[in-house]
Structure 1
Amino acid sequence: MRNLIEIRGRIVTDSDLELICTLVDKNKHRSRCSISKLLASEWQWYQPNGRLKDRACRDILAFLERQGLITLPALRPRRKQVRKETQQLQISFEFNPIAIEGKLNEYLPLSFKMVCQHPLETLWNQLMADYHYLGYSNLVGAHLKYLVYTADGHLVAALGWGSAVWKLKPRDQAIGWTAQQRKEHLHKVANNYRFLILPLVNIPCLASHILSQNIRLLNDDWYQRYHYTLSLLESFVDASRFRGTCYRAANWIYVGQTKGFAKRGNRFHYHGQPKEVFLYPLSPHFRKELGAGNALLPPLRHPAMRDYLSLNQTKRGGKMILEHEGWNRHLPPPLDLDDQDIEALGEEFEQFHRLFQPAFYRVEQLNLSRRYLQGLMSPLQRKSVEPIAVSLMDTKRVRSLQLFISSGKWQTETLATLHRQETAKTLADEDGVISVDSSEFPKKGKESVGVARQWCGRLGKVENCQSGVFLAYSTAKGYALIDRRLFLPKKWFSEAYQERWQKCKIPAETPFKTKPTLALEMVQELHKEGLFPGKWLACDELFGRDSQFLDNLPEELFYFAEVPCTTRVWLEPPVVEVPAYCGTGRKPKRKHCQPSSSTVSELSKNKRLNWQRLTLAEGANGPIVAEVTRIPVFESRNGLPRKKVWLFIRRSIEGHEIKYFLSNASMDTPFDEMWHVCMMRWPIEQCFQEGKSELGMDHYEHRSWEAWHRHMTFVFIAHLFLLRVRHKFKKNSSTDTASSHTAHENNFAE
């Protein structure tokens, strides 16, 4: 079927058009109003209160006639008659306000008279016309009107409830519903469109008491009249006239301001008087009843809701959400960002941050994660929790941010998974290289999780530190850290450390695992996800000398592993046999190899090796050059030959530094491809350098297991955002992220 028009939520199709034409032909003698009622009845199209939606059908008929699709009966002359409400206003009541003063309890209990379709409705209309600053206007849609009397029968107030406004940003944000959900459930919201305390009535707390008491009656009266219940109430307060004290005292919740527009007909006109918006939920599950069910949003009365609403209602204009005092626009590598870029960067950050929303349960967690990310990317000298909270929030929020990172109930691994998915969208390439490395974080105390005296690569000696194992992914598009594991030294599994184990909240089922074992688990999980294509894995000596790690890597991966200079290999497959018995002593049982193996260091001195001189990069003092070569060898395992692998050797021109690598790549692998992988080994080091120098990777002061992994994940996310910024805001089209690899290699090559 062909869709013709959608109006008031109804889509008119070809079959609907045929029905309309049939109705018009059969009822040419009847009025357009009658035909619209017949059409609504045929469609079974009703309002929530059970009445036919004939007015909407009339609009559809008029539109189709304007399009030339149907011909309606001619308009009939309008009868000269006064509207019912206008007639009622002409019948005036003799009402003379009297002075009523005193304490509220002197006039209790109050009585409420619902006056819709009651003779007293005329009095209600007259009171609004005479005493309310907005006057009286004819009401359309569902509504209720009340008059309020004291215990001795004196009239003191009048108030009315009606249909909610169609679009109201503060309300819609507080509910968290979509446009479709609003269309389906808006009838469950009522608007307190009039509230009048009569002149000369001066009773403290009367207004708030009336509001609270009337709300208790409202839902029952609404159900009796319209056959459905309400879930939420709304009201507007003109701040230039009133302070909204009675609404606040009656536990209504301020959620924001209107923009100063009013709807007249089909258009909005600016009147320049923004009004405060107050809400009152009639049910603790009002969001679910309104079709939203947004688990992230806290209760309306929660302090975090105020932060959420104020954050979403802030005009972007010249101030972006990412910006704060001292914002540093010189991101690594430095970018020349102008003011227009800075403004766009705020929206870019907001869109980026929303990608990670599924990891959090409540909106306050979402807000705290936003601030933590901003703090990591800020120019603060110390990027731990307290400086971030003081700089970007206030001193009262330090504890909130600490608990959010250390023990907050949200999904750490979901956040890490979302980060990997977004990283793959940015970097994934068939020529990608996975890198494995460890990084250490010096610590002075003994209470942090996993801290012990161990080798600290950053200091180049054994020192008190924490150590983590990391995965990185590098392509021509850039590089990023994608997974992490904290290494627990063996002493942490002894009885002496059980108290610290509990304080650091280490999962009870955590077994001891070496760094290569941790790395292997991450690589295997990464391979199962299938997010990062590529056939190479590069690692340093710590992992390259672990045969269990290399042998259990996924079969589809070629490793390019740095090995110690003492690694033994053969140039040719040796003869493996048990030596002949010489006639004296024990008979030999172990197999021996002839000839014996050589170390890779010894092979590098062979004058027959074909060395190639290659330029790593253009350094500050000229080209940085290295000599490289490769030869096929047979690796030695427990003194016996194993499979044939490549030995790749790289040395400086002066010969002071030589590095050795083994690779299980096929023998027909091009030399240039292996040289490329050798160069792609270094971006993980650059990730550590940028993370520690720019993003506070080593600034954390958390002591728990969960907090360490959460902090590292946030650093990864911040680094990914900066990578996307580099892609989007690069000024020189000839300079891309890939070229930055060369610059970073300079640091390590030198």
Structure 2
Amino acid sequence: MILNDTNGTASVEDVLALTLEALRDAKARMRPVFGQERIAASAGRFLETLLGNEPRKTGWMRAEAAGDPGPWRQQGLLGRAQWDANALRDVVRDHVVDHFGDPDAVLVVDETGFLKKGAASCGVSRQYTGSAGKITNCQIGVFATYVSSKGYAFLDRALYLPKSWTDTPERLAAAHVPDDIRFATKPSLATAMIGRALAAEVPFAWVSGDSVYGVGDLEMALRRAGKGFVLGVNANHWFHSWRPDVMWVGEAREIIKTLPDEAWVRRSAGHGTKGERWYDWLYCPMADLQASEYSDTLTGTWTRGLLVRRNPADGDLRYFTTWCPQGTPLETLVRVEGARWRIEEGFETAKNEFGLDHNETRSWHGWHHHVSLVMLAYAMMAAVRSQANALALKKSPLPPSKSLSGGRSRKSAASS
């Protein structure tokens, strides 16, 4: 397990000790979720197999790693066993906040696809997924990732059910979908996740997401909650400024044509696998509004604006609607938008190393059981990585320019 670059070293012994302690802590945290000891023991073995080196986390491979004669115990844990996946989700949330909690954190919302054959797996349909870059047979999961200066990990999840499912009661019954589940758009699922984070008093100041989530109820919910956002919008999204000094009215792509080249500034969106991610940025504050317009408990002036990101390599443009306290510097908005990359990286690592997309169950409960256990494994190893790198820095201080960036590796805790 390599948790840092060649300029610093966390010893194998240190990493092993941290991992064993993290595993004991994770098992203790999740123990109350399962009730019966045999189910808790099976969940513990499942968690251990997710941390193994098997390239695929199929039922047979998990069973072999756990020393079981077949996959039935593993399948039973996910499908037949009666335990509350949402209670485990809350365990994951508390684990993430305990290790990475920060009042200035960013919640990033996004979706990922789970490729499937057939039509029986809950929520499967021919639909677009960025994972494949096309319309294909798949499930779609909406996720929220918690990103702070201390680390990052998945915080919440929801399985998207297309109308072809919610309009067909027999399909819902066959997949054991709870009776109270109704059709919900992806932005609605994300809004519900943010609501759960607020109810649990999760510390965060910002929300970031792509254009699927950039307009509508999600935006208004964040304004009412007093949370800033940087949310993607389409190039034809309409903006209207209320400033006395300048009047911008029109589509985002047309507004930026009226501004001089020197209005663009180059800033890094954060460190990536190949170093700093440099882009050109343009920020247009549109209106200063009172927070009290959206909530009786909020005060202060907030600014609605347009943020544009340009790739200096090919000129590709991305547009964002922003909401932030008046006077928020561009660098902060860039940091918030840059945090969105963490969830994409998280999907890749969770699938490649923790078997996020290796779920073989077909039911509603099976999907949520599997994904919640993977989220716990991910959060656990994210904390191990952070602790191991901090320990390496303590033992061998490095100049800031050579700080540990953590190359991608087995169980690198979901980061590069």
Could you state the TM-score of these two structures normalised by the residue count of structure 1? 0.48
Task: Tell me, in whole angstroms, the C-alpha distance in 1 between the residues paired with 2:169 and 2:196.
Answer: 29
- Whether 1:462 and 2:131 are equivalent positions in the alignment is no
Alpha-carbon shift at residue 726 of structure 1 (Å) = 1.1
Report the secondary structure of 1:665's partner residue.
Answer: strand
- The change in CA–CA distance for 1:740 and 1:685 in structure 2 (over 3 A counts) is farther
Q: Root-mean-square deviation (CA), in Å?
A: 2.9
- Structure 1 residue 688 displacement after superposition: 0.8
1:401 CA drift (Å)? 1.7
Distance 1:382 1:624, change over 3 A: closer
- 3-state SS of paired residue (2:137): strand
Matches within 5 A, 1:39-188: none
AA aligned to 2:127 is Q
Q: Tell whether the 8 Å contact from 1:612 to 1:628 is kept in structure 2 after alignment.
A: yes
Mapped partners of 1:742, 1:676: distance in 2: 21
Instruction: Give the deviation of 1:740 after TM superposition.
Output: 4.3
Give the match for residue 407 of structure 1.
80
1:570, distance to aligned residue in structure 2 (A): 2.7
Q: Deviations over 1:414-465 (max 9, x none)?
A: 2221221121110111111111111111111111000001111111111111
Q: Give the equivalent residue in structure 2 for 1:613.
A: 266
2:295 aligns with none
Aligned CA distance change for structure 1 residues 330 and 743 (closer, same or farther; 3 Å): closer
CA distance in 2, matches of 1:675, 1:344: 34
Q: Which amino acid aligns with 1:627?
A: D
Deviations 1:558-605 (A, max 9, x none): 12111101101134569xxxxxxxxxxxxxxxxxxxx99321111222
Once the two structures are superposed, what CA deviation does each residue of 1:101-138 show, in whole Å capped at 9, x if it has no partner? xxxxxxxxxxxxxxxxxxxxxxxxxxxxxxxxxxxxxx
Distance 2:15 2:104 in 1: 32
Q: 2:4, 2:378 → 1: CA distance?
A: 10
CA distance 1:569–1:743, shift in 2 (3 Å)? farther
* 1:547 aligned onto 2:216: yes
Tell me which residue corresponds to 1:87. Answer: none
Task: Pick the structure with greater CA Rg.
Answer: 1
Contact kept, 8 Å, 1:617 with 1:743, in 2: the verdict is no
Matched, 1:732 2:389: no
Distance 1:603 1:596 in 2: 6
Q: Corresponding residue for 1:374?
A: 48
Distance, in Å, in 2 between the alignment partners of 1:439 and 1:348 is 27
> 2:175 is matched with which residue?
504
CA positional deviation for 1:370:
1.1
- Corresponding position of 1:557: 227
Q: Offset at 1:741?
A: 9.2
Q: Is the 8 A contact 1:332 1:690 kept in 2?
A: no
Question: 1:347: how far off?
Answer: 4.3
What is the count of residue pairs matched by the alignment?
383
Cα displacement (A) at 1:644? 6.0
Residue of structure 2 in register with 1:517 after alignment: 188
Does 1:685 find its partner at 2:344?
yes
2:279: which partner in 1? 626
CA contact (8 A) 1:560 1:664 kept: yes
Q: In structure 2, which of residues 63, 69, 79 is the aligned counterpart of residue 389 of structure 1?
A: 63
- What is the rounded CA distance, in whole Å, between the counterparts of 2:356 and 2:81 in structure 1? 20
- Assess, with a 3 A threshold, how the Cα gap between structure 1 residues 347 and 619 changes in structure 2: closer, same or farther: closer
Tell me which residue corresponds to 2:377. 718
- Residue identity opposite 1:376 in structure 2: L
Change (3 A) 1:521 1:621: closer
Q: Which runs of 5+ in 2 are unaligned?
A: 289-301, 410-416
Q: Give the match for residue 424 of structure 1.
A: 97
Conserved in 2, the CA contact under 8 Å of 1:540 and 1:563? yes
Q: Which has the higher contact order (CA 8 A, sep 6+)?
A: 2
Paired residue type of 2:220: D
In the TM superposition, residue 666 of structure 1 has moved relative to its aligned partner by: 3.0
Once the two structures are TM-superposed, the CA of residue 385 in structure 1 deviates from its matched residue by: 2.1
Map of 1:451 onto structure 2: 124
- Structure 2 contact 5–406 (Cα < 8 Å) conserved: no
What do the CA deviations read for 1:1-24 (whole angstroms, capped 9, x no partner)?
xxxxxxxxxxxxxxxxxxxxxxxx
Distance 1:423 1:675 in 2: 24
**Amino acid aligned to 2:392:** N
Change (3 A) 1:721 1:602: same
**Distance change >3 Å, CA 369–CA 658, structure 1 → 2:** same
Task: Please give the residue correspondences for 1:562-573 in structure 2 after superposition, counting only pairs within 5 Å.
Answer: 562-572=232-242
Q: Which amino acid aligns with 1:346?
A: L
Question: With structure 2 as the length reference, what TM-score do the two structures score?
Answer: 0.84
Matches within 5 A, 1:169-568: 329-330=1-2, 336-339=10-13, 341-342=15-16, 345-396=19-70, 398-494=71-167, 497-530=168-201, 532-544=202-214, 546-553=215-222, 554-568=224-238
- Relative to structure 1, is the Cα distance of residues 621 and 456 closer, same or farther in structure 2, using a 3 angstrom cutoff? closer
| Offset, 1:548 | 2.1
**CA distance in 2: counterparts of 1:443 and 1:557, whole angstroms:** 37
Determine which of 313, 320, 328 is the counterpart of 1:661: 320
SS class of match (1:357): helix
**Residue in 1 that maps onto 2:413:** none
Residue type matched to 2:211 in 1? E
Cα distance in 1, alignment partners of residues 366 and 46 from structure 2:
13
